[in-house]
Structures are given as structure tokens and as C-alpha cells.
Structure 1
Amino acid sequence: MIIVIKDNQMTIIDEIRNRFEGTHEVFVHHNRVAIQGISETDLTQDEKIAADAIIDNVPAAVQGSRLFHPEDTVITTKHSQIGGAHFTMMAGPCSVESAEHVMKMAKVAKSGGATILRGGAFKPRTSPYSFQGLGEDGLKYLRAAADAYDMDVLTEVMDQDHVDMIARYTDIFQIGARNMQNFSLLKAVGKTNIPVMLKRGMSATIDDILNAAEYIAAGGNHQIMITERGIRTFDNKYTRNTLDLGAVPVLQKLTHYPVIVDPSHAAGHTEFVVPEALAGVAIGASGLVVEIHDDPAHAFSDGAQALKPDEYRQMAAKAFAIRQLITTPNEEKSEVTL
């Protein structure tokens, strides 16, 4: 239940805390109080009259809900602003392969307007015999490349034992699709003050991803972005996953967190990455995260879905143009060209 309290009745917040804390989770955001696990009928008549409030029942997320937190969350890092009116490009190789290669890819990412360098140092792979990443050395290479081009680092954390170590190198934790419901890991990153990119699981519903975000928020970390990266459907013959573009506006209606689109993992094939990326921008995503590689045929992982440098730069130029078009007032759109 969420209670929206009038400005002249703010003192009732303490009364609500005193009554329900210890038996229910109570969250306060400005003039809104969220109490998990109860409905309006659980309040006394005196409490209803004293609050003189609007009461809504919220079935899923609480701290992530628009009803609790109407304004957009904007995540601010050293080089990026994510969410709200901002559009953020994130790019880099699937895996950090060497210091020299990730430095080269950082230059490419920056040239396309990216402010965040992505790259995996610990890789969750389908086969145990596939390349698993360079570990902490890979993090050092990634950090150095990002710093050289004034970019932020986005990298995946796979288990709670690595949280403290990876925190020394990254600006944003990535929780991969396979770990979306690794609740111990979600709780661990929730105790940090480092932003978290939470990717939707391959079979996760909208409520599943919102509830996963709650595990992070419940620990005190509200710097969360949700990423649509494709889900498993009845057909994966032609693409790796099915990009659920409809989830973007749905999530933006339900939650105040930024919503990012990952066309690389959805498409799985380079030829489909660009149109899916542009569709993600057109539908209103707060940013894109894409994989790039200068020699995809010899990439250590996921080369089939990596954009070559020129492909990436062309895609990025179109993406920023589309973003400008959809956010420009109607009277000015005649001046916008693609």
C-alpha cells in the first residue's frame, strides 16, 4: 500500500512508522509512505482521517514504483548521466582480451559518442570450456582504457565473493541475465553505493525483473537501471533471443528507473543488431549497450553479434539523430535530419 500524504499532515509519517515498523517494511519518499503487505482496510478510521490521503494498492515493486517515486531517477557517474532526459551510449567488446585490444576498442567506443566502456573480465558462458575471462587483470586493462578516454566502466559481477574486488575497478556493476534472480548477489550489490545495471532474465516477466530490482533497492542502493536484452520465445532460429520492445514503455510506466536496451544479446547476429538498436531508441529507451570488435571472426566471445567500428559509428550517429527527433518539440522537427 502507498499513502500519499498532504503537505500539512506530514507528521503522521512518524505515527505510521511507529505502528508498522517491525512487522512490515516501511519506505518513505518525500510525502509518500509505502507499507508492504497491508491494504487500506488494515488502517484504523482515525489514521485514515488524520492522513486525509490518497491510498493505492501496489501489487509488485514498491521502491521502484512510479506511485512511490513519480519522478525519473537519473544516475550520475563521473562521465555519464543515465535516465530522465538523457540518452547514454555504452559500448565495448564482449570480453576484455588484452590491454592493447580494449584500449583500441575504447577509442572506437568514444568516437561513436559512448561515455561508458563495457567489457567482461569474468564471463558466464554456456560451455565450461569456453573463454571465461581474464579476471582481475582484465579489470585493470578495462579501467586503464576507460580512464584514457574519460569514460566510465561497466562490467559484470557474477557472484557475491567478487563484489568488493570488482568495486575497486568499476563505475557500474552489471548483473547478467543468468544472475537476475541470484538474490544473494542482488543483496550484496544493494549494500554498495555503485550503480547497478540489472538485465532481464531470459524467461523473466515484468514483475520478475521489478522484484529483482527491489532486492537491490531494499539494501539501500537506488541507483538501478533495468536492461531489456531479449527473452526466450518459441522461435530462436533466426535471432538469439526476442527483443521485447514493448517492455520498454511498460517498464517506464511502472518504474522510475532508467530502461536500457541491449540489441547485441537480443539479436545475436550483427546484421540484426543495428535495426534493433534503432528501434530501441525510437521506442524511448534511456540508452543502448552494444558490443563492438574490430575482428569479430576472431573474438574470444560472441563475435557473431559484435559491430565492427564503422558499423558501430554509423549506428550511433543514427541513434543520436533518432533520439533528437523524438525529443524535439514538433515546431522544431523540420530542422532535424537523419
Structure 2
Amino acid sequence: MVFILKKGVSQSAVQEFRKDWESKGFSTIWAPGTDHDAVCLIGNTSTVDMDAVVYTNPIVAYARRVTEPYKAASRTVHEDNTVITIGDVTIGDGGFTVIAGPCSVETEDQITTIARLTKQSGAKILRGGAFKPRTSPYSFQGLGKEGLALLSAAKKATGLPIVTEIMNQTQTPLFEDVDIVQIGARNMQNYDLLKEVGKMGKPVLLKRGLSSSIDELLMSAEYIMSSGCSDVILCERGIRTFETSTRNTLDISAVCVLKEKTHLPVIIDPSHACGIRSYVPALSKAAFAVGADGLLVEVHNDPAHALCDGAQSLDPEQFGNLMSQLKKYAQIENRSI
């Protein structure tokens, strides 16, 4: 249930309103907006008389029930787009934010070189895996703590915020210098991890599971948001279908559906979607055309010798060419990039 508040209501009145409902066993979510502010009531609201609340409470303009199982992530509750700010970088404000970097952090020279080159081409955030979930236990699993330290060194050298994947709850103390915590596709429904990450006080990049529906993705976002994190970035990275020509099947329509259902930013990972570097530029352009808020793209300075996912990684020159094309589209659409 969501209560739409009258204009000009003081913060103290809002806090008292929320406190009253929380004392009755409900949880509340504060959703400020451009046209109006709202308070979402979470719990068994079947016994709540909406009309009585509207008629008797001076700060409530009207109320309505939220039929979606996800509440905090719903656009019904929060009509305005959520804009996430990391330093001087914004995601969800109508621009197109590009996150780039290697699948795995390998050496300080590798990650710092890639960070500098992608920043020169226009990337705003650096990605890189320190902990790597791999299908085979014999594949490279990442550098772990050392990889996080190398990411921090690249951040210090270039000023780029960093995003990297967390694998389990025990790793949360290691992510102090990480700007955005990534939940990978395999962990999308690891609900204990989602709840812990929601308490970290950092933006979260949540990837769609390879066999998960859009509503399941939003319910996973709800776990994070219900734990206190309102800054969630949704990432479509391809789903598993019967098609074997590509690594996964990019569900480009998911951007349209998510933009209708939720206020959260939505980005595309074309690298994991196709697994083939020659397809990445076309899918990146499709992401821009369909209205995504950005890209998460893999770039390696020597893809042929990458320790992980070299076949889907662009080299710096290819990434630079892609960014030049995207910037031309951005000028036409009057979008920042």
C-alpha cells in the first residue's frame, strides 16, 4: 500500500507518520518524487482501511494498493527515475554511462593500463573481477584480496570509481574501497547475500540470472532494497535459451519492460550476452537505442592472452571505436555519455 502525501508536508510529520505505522508492525519506505512524495507500507495491509487513513490523517492526499510483489522497486511506489551518484558519475539521469574493464584483474600494469585507456575513450567506471565464479573448478578463480588491492591502485591512478563482484557474506569487510558492489548472475537468488549487501551502504549492481524472469530479478532487487539500499542498478546480461550460436541470448526487450515496471536504472552487459567480441559493438548500440542507462563491457589490453573471457573482450582500440560511435548517437539524441 502506498500513501501519496500532500504538498508541503514537513519531514517531522512524515517521520511521525512512518513511526506510527512501524509501531504497528509494518515496515515503511520513503519515496520522494518530483510531483509528490509517498510512503510505502509493507506488511499484511489487507486489514488497513485506506479511506479511513485518507479522511483522518491530514498529511495524506490519497492511497492505493500496490499489486506487484515487489514494493520498493516498483514504479507505482516511486514514479520518478532513481538517479545513482558515485562521485561525479551519475547513472539513471537520462545519460548513457559506460563501465569498462577486464573480466579478471591480472596484474597492476594490466588493470591500470586498461583503466587509463578506457577512461581516455570515455568510460566513467572501471570494472574488474577479483573473485571469479567459474564453471570449472580448474579455471582461474581470480586474485582475491590481491585483485581488490590492484583495483584500488588503478582507482587511485585514474580517479575512476570501481565495481567488482562479491561472492559471499564473509567478503563484505574487504570491499571498503569498492564503489559499487556487483552481484553476479549465479548469485542473483542468493538471498542471504542480497540481504547482507543491502546493509553495506554502497550502490549495488545486480545481474539477472541466466534462467531468471524479469519479476524474479525485481524480487532480488527487493531483497537488497528492503535491507536499506535504495541504489540498485539492474543489469541484463543475457538469458539461457535453446540457441547455441551465442553464449547467451540478450533479452533487449527486458530494458523496455523494466523501464515500465521499475524506477531503478537498467544497463546492458553485451559481452556476457554474446561471448563473441565482434558482436559486442552492435549489441552496445542496441542498448543505447532501446533506452538503457549504460553498458558494462569487457575490455582487455591483450585479449588473446587474457586469463578469463578473452574471446568476448574488446581491445582498447576496438573500445575506442565503439565509444566514438556511441558519442555520435548521443549527440543526435541529446544524451550525455
Common fold by TM > 0.5: yes
In 2, Cα distance between equivalents of 1:304 and 1:281: 23
How far is the alpha carbon of 1:229 from its aligned partner?
A: 0.6
RMSD (CA atoms): 2.1
Q: Which amino acid aligns with 1:24?
A: F
1:233 aligned to which of 241, 256, 262: 241
SS of the counterpart of 1:102? helix
Residue 271 of structure 1 corresponds to which residue in structure 2? 278
In 2, Cα distance between equivalents of 1:315 and 1:62: 37
1:124 aligned to which of 118, 129, 133: 133
Residue 333 of structure 1 corresponds to which residue in structure 2? none
**Structural mapping, 1:68-217, within 5 Å:** 68-165=77-174, 167-217=175-225
298 and 49 in structure 1: CA distance in 2 versus 1, 3 angstrom threshold: same
In 1, Cα distance between equivalents of 2:216 and 2:53: 33
Residue 218 of structure 1 corresponds to which residue in structure 2? 226
Residue 23 of structure 1 corresponds to which residue in structure 2? 25
Q: What percentage of aligned pairs have identical amino acids?
A: 43
Instruction: Kindly provide the CA deviation profile for residues 233-267 of structure 1, in whole angstroms up to 9, marking residues without a partner as x.
Output: 121x1111111111112112221111111000001
Residue 244 of structure 1 corresponds to which residue in structure 2? 251
How far is the alpha carbon of 1:327 from its aligned partner?
A: 3.5
4+ residue runs over 4 A deviation: 8-17, 19-22, 37-41
How far is the alpha carbon of 1:21 from its aligned partner?
A: 4.4
Structure 1 gap segments, 5+ residues each: 329-338
In 1, Cα distance between equivalents of 2:252 and 2:305: 31
Q: Which amino acid aligns with 1:23?
A: G
260 and 21 in structure 1: CA distance in 2 versus 1, 3 angstrom threshold: farther
Q: Is the 8 A contact 2:3 2:61 kept in 1?
A: no
Residue 41 of structure 2 corresponds to which residue in structure 1? 35
Q: Which amino acid aligns with 1:169?
A: D
TM-score (norm 1): 0.90
In 2, Cα distance between equivalents of 1:217 and 1:52: 25
TM-score (norm 2): 0.90
SS of the counterpart of 1:33? strand
Of 64-73 and 200-209, more deviation after overlay is shown by 64-73
In 1, Cα distance between equivalents of 2:46 and 2:271: 45
13 and 137 in structure 1: CA distance in 2 versus 1, 3 angstrom threshold: closer
Q: Which amino acid aligns with 1:2?
A: V
